[in-house]
């Protein structure tokens, strides 16, 4: 019986066609990956930036019921969003051609707009914390900011 195992092992390594067939089977599985497995993997990947402090949505003018009861006859054309973290706030205004924002307290910083498709757009906030992003993102994104002191703050996902 020991000879049979040795003979099979010898055939495996010595027969190029058997080896190539095994490699082909390994690289081209016949089973589709279940959707739930893909979703779980995507969720796990989102934890790769767990070191960033999360800035949660604190205000969205689109959901502000007091704005509806305002005296003005017209609604404002701009949308305002506020994301708050422990020691920093993102103030955003959504305009037809893009986003205008400020880091509060005012400070320079390196920002990334991380689109849900994986694309990243680099943005710089000036010494007063002001930044602009053009054009207006058409898909879900998050803002991630690295401050001068090395801290990283990231917003929730944003869909406009």
* pLDDT value at residue 12: 59
**Looking at beta carbons, which pairs linking 85-89 to residues 24 or more positions away fall under 8 Å?**
85/53, 85/54, 85/55, 85/56, 85/153, 86/53, 87/151, 88/53, 88/55, 88/145, 88/147, 88/153, 89/55, 89/58
Is the pTM here over 0.85, yes or no?
no
Query: Cα–Cα distance between 153 and 88 in angstroms, integer?
Result: 8
The 10s digit of each residue's pLDDT in 66-80 is 555 455 555 556 899
Which domains, and CATH codes, for the chain?
2-46 (no CATH), 50-155 (2.60.40)
19 torsion bin: left (phi>0), alpha (psi -120 to 50), beta (else)? alpha
Position 89 scores a pLDDT of 93
Which pLDDT score, from 0 to 100, does residue 9 have? 52
Q: What is the pLDDT of residue 99?
A: 94
Q: Give the residues of the chain that fall short of pLDDT 70.
A: 1-13, 41-52, 65-77
Compute the half-sphere exposure of residue 4: CA atoms within 13 Å on the CB side of its CA. Answer: 1
């Amino acid at each position: 019986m020991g000879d049979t195992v040795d003979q099979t092992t010898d055939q495996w390594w010595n027969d190029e066609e058997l080896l190539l067939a095994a490699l082909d089977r390994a690289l081209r599985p016949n089973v589709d990956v279940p959707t739930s497995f893909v979703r779980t993997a995507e969720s796990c990947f989102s934890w790769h930036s767990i070191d960033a402090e999360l800035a949660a949505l604190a205000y969205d003018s689109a959901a502000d019921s007091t704005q509806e009861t305002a005296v003005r006859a017209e609604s404002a054309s701009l949308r305002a969003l506020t994301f708050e973290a422990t020691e920093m706030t993102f103030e955003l205004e959504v305009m037809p051609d893009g986003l205008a924002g400020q880091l509060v307290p005012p400070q320079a910083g390196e920002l990334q707009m991380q689109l849900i498709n994986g694309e990243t757009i680099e943005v710089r906030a000036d010494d007063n914390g002001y930044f602009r992003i053009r054009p207006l993102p058409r898909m879900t994104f998050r803002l991630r900011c690295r401050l001068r002191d090395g801290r990283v703050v990231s917003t929730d996902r944003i869909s406009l």
